Structure 1
């Protein structure tokens, strides 16, 4: 049974390697643009961190406690490529990925702190004992991901905010939001992480690309025209 996330990463890596697939507009005029190749590179490095440093494997659960952000997309794709389940409803999980690392001590096998600024090379300040600094660790991991264990499409990929669990094989047909082929899609952070993940998956599955925008970003006509936004 196939894993749509693996097929998606193959498509981004091969068919859209140099064109923008994910563009982020954040606070303080922050703009990050990831081509298919660069997006795949980040996902591979994050998957290797999960697999090699945290012994992550298929069917383990990862709580994704992050706001809508380009790094949230990276983490979800890395977990899905491994055959893990991302937990969005705050339920029990093996690992916690968060931008607020003071809240998960003792509850998870490991806590990973994610600094959100694009140029962050490490977490700003002291981290609780045992918490892993994503920004400091991820760059040392390999650019190519090869799973140690083959994931199964019958395993769960995501638990949504209502507690509904979606299997890997149904990630596109049951969880993602459908969009036109080749769409340049605006996804606003105010709609929440679950909606952002579903919309990004739907756009990428159809060969499209995504512009993610933080709530503080003013979506001017000039910005929308410059990014060639086609749908919302």
Structure 2
């Protein structure tokens, strides 16, 4: 059974799949550009890791203790593609993806450490016992996601900060922010992960693309002009 998130991933890897869909500017001059095809590959690999290695199933809860970052976008899309509920407010969950594995509080079926540097091939330093290293593991998983169990469109996809529950079937109509067709959207990371996800979903739904910037990156005219962003 399909959901809007599954349909969105299909649209990102079809059509003009080589066009930029997600561009990230991070500290130290870091710039990452993902086409629709490459974004779908990352999401598929992460979905496969969740499903095949962590036994994730539709209806389970995935907590994201991550900043507004391109890898956090990948994790949210992977969870929604699988039919999971994304948890951003620290409430209880079955699985946790975190950039701070040493600060984990609470019990989870699995904890995954997500190294944020783009070129990280593994977590730098030691990890707590039982914590999975995302950078070291994700590349071994397949580029195509084959779902073992159907996602339930009527299940919760995310609870927003205002308390509203958004179902999988309403993710693009209720949670996503509407944007004009083909928009090239600047999303400042300072707004937090929830706002970044809502805006990105709306941009992708309309066939557009997203430029996500770390809070330390100044919104200079040069950057916006280079990325062809208007009205930011």
Normalising by the smaller structure, the TM-score range is: over 0.9
Aligned-residue RMSD, C-alpha = 1.1
CA contact (8 A) 1:22 1:70 kept: yes
Distance in 1 between the 2:160 and 2:16 partners?
29
Partner of 1:72: 72
Deviation at 1:104, TM superposition (A): 2.5
**Structure 2 unaligned regions, length at least 5:** none
Secondary structure in structure 2 of the residue aligned to 1:122:
coil
CA contact (8 A) 1:123 1:136 kept: yes
1:102 is displaced (CA, Å) by 1.6
CA deviations on 1:123-177 (whole Å, 9 max, x unpaired) are 0100000000000000000000010001111011112223332100010111000
Whether the aligned pair in 2 keeps the contact of 1:105 and 1:111 (CA below 8 Å) is no
The number of residue pairs the alignment matches comes to 232
- TM-superposed deviation, 1:231: 4.4
**1:132-171 pair list within 5 angstroms:** 132-171=132-171
Distance 1:231 1:140, change over 3 A: farther
1:190 aligns with 2:186: no
| Partner SS, residue 62 of structure 2 | strand
Name the residue aligned to 1:219.
219
1:76-129, CA deviations, whole angstroms, 9 ceiling, x for partnerless residues?
Answer: 000000000000111110001100012326511110000000000000100000
1:9-34 CA-partner distances (Å, limit 9, x unpaired):
00000023100000000000000000
C-alpha separation in 1, matches of 2:78 and 2:58: 12
> In 2 relative to 1, CA 203–124 (structure 1 residues): closer, same or farther, beyond 3 Å?
same
Change (3 A) 1:22 1:208: same
1:230 deviates by 2.9
- Distance in 1, matches of 2:192 and 2:19, equals 26
Partner of 1:7: 7
Residue range with higher mean Cα deviation, 49-58 or 219-228: 219-228
In structure 2, relative to structure 1, the CA distance for the partners of 1:231 and 1:97 (3 Å cut) is farther
Q: Please, which moves more after superposition, 158-167 or 37-46?
A: 158-167
Counterparts of 1:102 and 1:211, CA distance in 2 = 30
Residue 126 (structure 1) aligned with residue 122 (structure 2): no
Measure the CA separation in 2 of the matches of 1:8 and 1:118.
Answer: 24
Q: Is contact 1:19–1:36 with CA below 8 Å preserved after alignment?
A: yes
- Aligned residue runs from structure 1 range 77-96, under 5 A: 77-96=77-96
Matched, 1:55 2:55: yes
Residue 16 of structure 2 aligns to a residue whose secondary structure is coil
Equivalent pair of 1:160/1:194 in contact (CA under 8 Å): yes
SS at match of 2:219: coil
Uncovered stretches (5+) of structure 1, i.e. residues with no partner: none
- Distance in 2 (CA, whole Å) between partners of 1:116 and 1:96 is 15
CA distance in 1 between partners of 2:11 and 2:87 (Å) = 25
